[in-house]
Copies of this chain bind each other. A is one copy, B any other.
Amino acid sequence: MLFSTKAEYGVRLMVELGRRAGSSPVADAEPVALSALAESEMLPLAYLEHLVAKLRQEGLVSSVRGAHGGYRLTRPPAEIGMLDVVEALEGPITPMECFQTDREGRVLCSHESDGDSACATKLLWTRVQGGINKALTGTTLADLVEFADSHAPRATLAGNAA
């Protein structure tokens, strides 16, 4: 497997936030308590705390402390690329240990100086990384929210008005 449950849970968390925000202008949305998210996604609360912390550090969600606190998105879902989300959770996405990318897709291999046939594999990993990045940047949170809504009826999302 490529990604761990960190990405899985974290993305689901973001999707849930996106669904609950609906079409409201982000800052107006009621903050959602993590316990509510944990329950509706059936995920361990204590673990989610760690994940949401990473999302917050990357500025993808903001938090409100104290009673009636919770989390909300900092931007509308359509402006959130999934590369940011996944990287916030999993760390930098590189196909191989020796790789560092400079955010433009340019690739540096750390043992490039062997003179030998070092990194004959570079071409391959570069292509793979390109494929992943393209898939990840080409998908926004809004895409996933829409997908989820259309596949999991759940009435009209009973969480908000009820």
**Interface residues of A: mostly helix, strand, loop or mixed?**
helix
In the complex the two chains form, what is the Cα distance from A145 to B15 in whole Å? 43
A99 to B93, CA, bound (A): 19
Residue of B93, B147, B152 touching A115 (CB-CB under 8 A): B152
Considering only residues 4-40 of chain A, those with a C-beta below 8 Å from chain B are 5, 7-8, 11-12, 15-16, 19, 40
Q: B143 contacts A132, CB within 8 Å?
A: no
A116 touches B82 (CB 8 A): no
A94 CB contact (under 8 Å) in B2, B15, B120: B2
A111 CB → nearest B CB, Å: 10
- 8 Å CB interface, A119-148 against B: 120-125, 127-128, 130-132, 134-136, 138-139, 143-145, 147-148
A20 to B62, CA, bound (A): 57
Please state if B117 and A16 are interface contacts (CB–CB under 8 Å): yes
* Interface residues of A, count at CB 8 A: 50
- A64 at the B interface (CB under 8 A): no
Establish whether residues B117 and A152, one from each chain, have CB atoms under 8 Å apart when the complex forms.
yes
Most central of A40, A125, A131 by chain B CB within 10 Å? A131
Interface string of A71-89 (1 = CB under 8 A from B): 0000000000010000000
Q: In the complex, which residues of chain B have a beta carbon less than 8 angstroms from the beta carbon of A117?
A: 12, 15-16, 19, 40-41, 148, 151-152, 154
**Additional A-B contacts beyond A123-B144, A127-B136 (6; CB < 8 A):** A1-B96, A12-B121, A42-B114, A116-B152, A122-B147, A124-B139
